[in-house]
Structure 1
Amino acid sequence: MSVVRRSEIDGVQAFWVDSGRPTLTASLVTRQGMVDETLPTTGWTHLLEHLALHDRASGPLHVNGSVSLLHTRLDAHGPADRVAQVLEALTGWLAEPTFDELAREQSVLRAEAAMRGAGEVSVGLLWRYGAGGPGLSGYSEPGLSRADAQALTGLAQQTFTRGNTVLFLDGPPPEGLALHLPDGALRRAPAARPCDDTLPAAYLINAGITLSGVLPRSVAGTVLPHVLREVLTAEFRERDGGAYAPWAHYEPVDDESAVVFAGSDANEALLQSIADRAIFQLGQVAKGVFKSSLVTDTVEQLVQAMTDPYNLPGLAYRAATDHLRGDPPVDLEEVLEEYRAVDLDAVVESAAAMRSSLMVGIAREARWTQEMPILGMPSGAAMVDGRGHRSLNFPAHRERLVVGREGVQIGSAKDFRTVRRDEVAGMFVYPDGAREVVARDGWSINVEPTLWSAGAEATRGMDAMVPADLHIPMLARGPDRVPRPMSFWRRLHHLAQQGNRRFWVVAAGLFLLWIAILVVATSVTGRVPVGGVIGGLAVGAWSFLRERKRE
């Protein structure tokens, strides 16, 4: 039962074990994932997975699918003959897809993305890798709006091929099984390229803490998250009672590297110390200052799980994914030997690699003393020649927008944030004219034409600056979500809140203007306009208080 068998079915490599079960589980695994997309094509692979599986489950036959960073899975479980039928139907559809349900599935995936949100791992990958490769998992598949039948057909025929897909089964392949995929070569995973940030560094999140770091893919690397979870659980849950569920995760990002995450929720009291203590605990693991039994216990648990007959199909699945990585399959004894060889030193080495590339996601309200920069969009001197636009909220906001042929920038004086044309990963295009241009490092500039002088011209300039194939249409926003310029009194109130001396200049100017009007009115009428004095004071006070209430 522990032997992984290998077959070839219509040019597709199949890996299987004989589990002895009366039913059959099968997975078509393709070397195509989120890392292979771009910002304008995010969600296309997920869309193909949904369309391929739609309406194929019935009775005892269950189907499911998933898209990870590196792979796409199409799963089926049930009677062997029914599984064979659905595999033939799936591969036939992938070879010649149809798109009658395209619009509906696009809507379904938008709803799924809105419900799912971005988790700690996706957010961490976005901060580390920006708007490309593994970082694309941090977006809510905005490229769905660009998908059409022609583009999706091309993607399916390029990626779901005999050489780029493997079949995993937990029993012998059904007799006469046919797989109808087109010819094609194995497509290796692109190398994950992190942003040019100086590490260690921190970024702000909504709750708790997240630690992450890059390390070479290895068996010891898969053991490290188990150790970190136990260390953080002992520190924050067992010792303090300030956390419910410390967690850790191992995420391969290409053929050679993985990112290990570890984090925890935290109550208000724990937030005062969790950052310093979590970083300290990682440092202790990287020095080998922790219970060595955590390593031996973890290895024993993993070995026990792998030798459980119910888990043996996982060995065939590993052989299948190893093949897509270009590695030969290994048998159970080789896998067990790999895990039994993991010792304290191997885990310490993995933890040290994680620590050297550390990124920390920390709750906004947390306190910490670590000398670690918080990541922010780089800024500097003006770099773009083009049409300038003044903020309609001047003088409360004194930034200027510049849109040129080579880029867009927002800022003032010598502090401009810039996205250059040759750095653009994509641009979100809203029907109301709003634009958000995203650089490959994930930083972006958002332009609301309603807030800038000649805003419509700014929109046209950005549309011309960004190549059309990087435009990403977005759904229409409700009128209440389109920002409007501040009223005059609100701008004045904003200046006052900032303690800005311009407030006093403007206020003094208005006061002198009012006095001048009163003087002129008095000289013309021969008497002081008491009603005008009282009315002016009343209107001014009412307007100011109304805007303050809105704030």
Structure 2
Amino acid sequence: MNHDLIDGVPVLWADAPGPLEATLIFACGARDETLRTLGVTHLIEHLAMSTLPRLHHDHNASVDLSLTQFTCSGRPEQVADFLTRVCTALGDLPLGRVDQEAGVLAAEDGRVADPQTAELLSHRYGAQGPGLAAYRGPGPDRIPLEAVRETVTRYFHRTNATLVLTGPPPAGLRLPLPAGTRPDRTATQPVLHHGPSWRQEQVPGPGLALHGDLEDFALALATKVLAERLRETVRHQHGLSYEVDGGVVFTGPGQGERTICLDAREGQEQKVAELLWAETLRLAREGMTEQELAEEVAAAREAWEDPRSIPYELGEAAADALLGESYLDAPTRLAAMAAVTPEQARQALAAALGTALVVVPCEVELDLRQLDGTPLPQQHCPGGVTELPSGGQVFRPPLTERLRYSAARKTKLVVTDTGLHFQEPDGTVHHVAYSEVAAVEMNGPGRVVFGRNTCLVPAIADLFADLGPAVRAIDAAVPAELRYPASAFRPVD
């Protein structure tokens, strides 16, 4: 791996077969946004790409939770031209195209994580940081222009970028990015819910998340063996699932989530969820074999020895440097994996079960046990309250609705000096303190209040009568910069 510096931008490169590939990486993603500005990084990426002329070589750009990447491949002069144009655009975004690119984003409707992983992250972190993966945000047409300016100034500069190349830098390559200060990445991401628990969400199948050190090779191997066992059991033996995906999500210095997500044949979601948990417990109790570990090490070795892995390795090194992580090269990782014993892997998985989060589709009901035989608790609402407060203004559905429907008689909104409480017909109470409001959607004459704890309070005319005092109280308590009109691209829901 070779190191260069071009116009203040670190460059990592290594020779690889095929045309020259380039990836310009910035340490900025959805986790750096807020619920109010969610989507701003994707909008910046689109604005920059919109300045390019028609190109006849492969090129693209993407945004995930932690990184924004501009990629291309082709002849050296094509690569150099692409990179220079992108850097120039980031220094002078065409803000006059915000409306058009917002429409393109609405048509794309992209997400930064699959549904199960997104809900697991929201379950762990709330409506902040990595947990924002589960949210759609205000809509691309409601992102403040000031947020675009602030984000591009804070993150899209040469001190927060790295270029990786599968060959020497092209002659005359220029990377005219503005100067800036690298963001501080040393803070630990606040955790809303440590686990263990399970939760129902609108997902297509079950998912499991384990929190821990991303350099814990014993846990890494244990989750790989678990995914393979599930593939054999759920797919090949029972024919209930097609896809078993294992993933890793960086969430902070040295920390992250290891996830396993499965799809399920229609009507078999509960069975797949039960098999997921049963296989996880079995592996944590009984462990795995030397052969299973050896298979995973062999698979990693084969992948890392393939010349096609060079762009991946370069990208890993660049991302680690940008996010403040320590990069371990492939031989070091292989040696660490090969040194793990079955008992070490078993113990790592058993310990990680203390952080286990399970998400299942809404219609699935589970009765799961932990390693010690106690029930795995179900999390219903993270708001921290189980009943409505005794004081405050109470709002109810219209009288005609209460007379006709028992559900309407049980639905209530209580507004106090410190926050909002919303009681659903089943008795579940959601609470959002004004100090914990992440965003407020102005839904016609009403308001939808989103809390950082993932609770949502719908103070809307479709549910409650005579809402004027409630709306005035919300607007007085919540800063104006957190409020936005409902997106024109999305139907009111």
- Asked whether the 8 Å contact 1:92–1:180 carries over to 2, the reply is yes
Q: 2:397 aligns with which of 382, 385, 391?
A: 391
User: 1:237 — aligned with what?
Assistant: 235
Instruction: Please state whether the residue corresponding to 1:317 is helix, strand or coil.
Output: helix
Q: What is the percent sequence identity of the aligned residues?
A: 27
Task: Give a deviation string over 1:68-126, Cα, whole Å, max 9, x none.
Answer: 21111111211111111121111111122222221111122122227999621112211
User: 1:313 — aligned with what?
Assistant: 311
**CA spacing shift, 1:142–1:170, aligned 2, 3 Å:** same
User: 1:212 — aligned with what?
Assistant: 209
User: 1:452 — aligned with what?
Assistant: 464
CA deviation after TM superposition for structure 1 residue 194, in Å:
2.1
**Structure number with bigger Rg:** 1
**CA spacing shift, 1:224–1:108, aligned 2, 3 Å:** farther
User: 1:16 — aligned with what?
Assistant: 13
Instruction: Report the Cα distance in structure 2 between the residues aligned to 1:88 and 1:173, rounded to whole angstroms.
Output: 13
- Asked whether the 8 Å contact 2:40–2:147 carries over to 1, the reply is no
Q: 2:487 aligns with which of 475, 478, 486?
A: 475
Amino acid at match of 1:422: S
Amino acid at match of 1:471: R
Corresponding position: 1:442 with 2:454: yes
**CA spacing shift, 1:109–1:225, aligned 2, 3 Å:** farther
Q: How many residues align?
A: 476
- Asked whether the 8 Å contact 2:437–2:478 carries over to 1, the reply is yes
Instruction: Please state whether the residue corresponding to 1:300 is helix, strand or coil.
Output: helix
Amino acid at match of 1:262: I
Instruction: Please state whether the residue corresponding to 1:97 is helix, strand or coil.
Output: coil
**CA spacing shift, 1:91–1:261, aligned 2, 3 Å:** same
Q: Which segment drifts farther, 282-291 or 442-451?
A: 282-291
CA deviation after TM superposition for structure 1 residue 152, in Å:
1.2
User: 1:79 — aligned with what?
Assistant: 75
CA deviation after TM superposition for structure 1 residue 318, in Å:
1.9
Amino acid at match of 1:304: E
Instruction: Report the Cα distance in structure 2 between the residues aligned to 1:59 and 1:248, rounded to whole angstroms.
Output: 35
Instruction: Structure 2: state its 5+ residue gaps.
Output: 369-374
Q: 1:193 aligns with which of 184, 190, 193?
A: 190
Q: 1:5 aligns with which of 2, 6, 17?
A: 2
Corresponding position: 1:373 with 2:370: no
Instruction: Report the Cα distance in structure 1 between the residues aligned to 2:439 and 2:390, rounded to whole angstroms.
Output: 19
Q: Which segment drifts farther, 268-277 or 85-94?
A: 268-277
Q: Which segment drifts farther, 126-135 or 201-210?
A: 201-210
Q: 2:442 aligns with which of 426, 429, 448?
A: 429
**CA spacing shift, 1:264–1:172, aligned 2, 3 Å:** same
Task: Give a deviation string over 1:180-232, Cα, whole Å, max 9, x none.
Answer: 11222322445222214652333344443212111111262444443222111
**CA spacing shift, 1:254–1:457, aligned 2, 3 Å:** same
Amino acid at match of 1:387: Q
User: 1:277 — aligned with what?
Assistant: 275
Corresponding position: 1:182 with 2:178: yes
**CA spacing shift, 1:292–1:365, aligned 2, 3 Å:** farther
Q: 1:38 aligns with which of 30, 34, 37?
A: 34
CA deviation after TM superposition for structure 1 residue 357, in Å:
0.8
Instruction: Please state whether the residue corresponding to 2:95 is helix, strand or coil.
Output: coil
Q: Answer 1 or 2: higher relative contact order, Cα 8 Å, separation at least 6.
A: 2
Instruction: Report the Cα distance in structure 1 between the residues aligned to 2:317 and 2:490, rounded to whole angstroms.
Output: 50
Instruction: Please state whether the residue corresponding to 2:172 is helix, strand or coil.
Output: coil
Q: 2:92 aligns with which of 75, 78, 96?
A: 96
CA deviation after TM superposition for structure 1 residue 235, in Å:
1.6
Instruction: Report the Cα distance in structure 2 between the residues aligned to 1:345 and 1:197, rounded to whole angstroms.
Output: 25
CA deviation after TM superposition for structure 1 residue 449, in Å:
1.9
Instruction: Please state whether the residue corresponding to 1:449 is helix, strand or coil.
Output: coil
Instruction: Please state whether the residue corresponding to 2:15 is helix, strand or coil.
Output: coil
**CA spacing shift, 1:334–1:273, aligned 2, 3 Å:** closer
- Asked whether the 8 Å contact 1:219–1:338 carries over to 2, the reply is no
Instruction: Report the Cα distance in structure 2 between the residues aligned to 1:232 and 1:86, rounded to whole angstroms.
Output: 43
Q: 1:359 aligns with which of 357, 378, 399?
A: 357
**CA spacing shift, 1:86–1:478, aligned 2, 3 Å:** closer
Task: Give a deviation string over 1:269-319, Cα, whole Å, max 9, x none.
Answer: 755543333212112222353343222111111111111122223222222
- Asked whether the 8 Å contact 2:288–2:346 carries over to 1, the reply is no
Q: 1:170 aligns with which of 163, 166, 171?
A: 166
User: 2:284 — aligned with what?
Assistant: 286
User: 1:486 — aligned with what?
Assistant: none
TM-score normalised by L of structure 1? 0.79
Instruction: Structure 1: state its 5+ residue gaps.
Output: 483-551
Instruction: Report the Cα distance in structure 2 between the residues aligned to 1:206 and 1:412, rounded to whole angstroms.
Output: 21
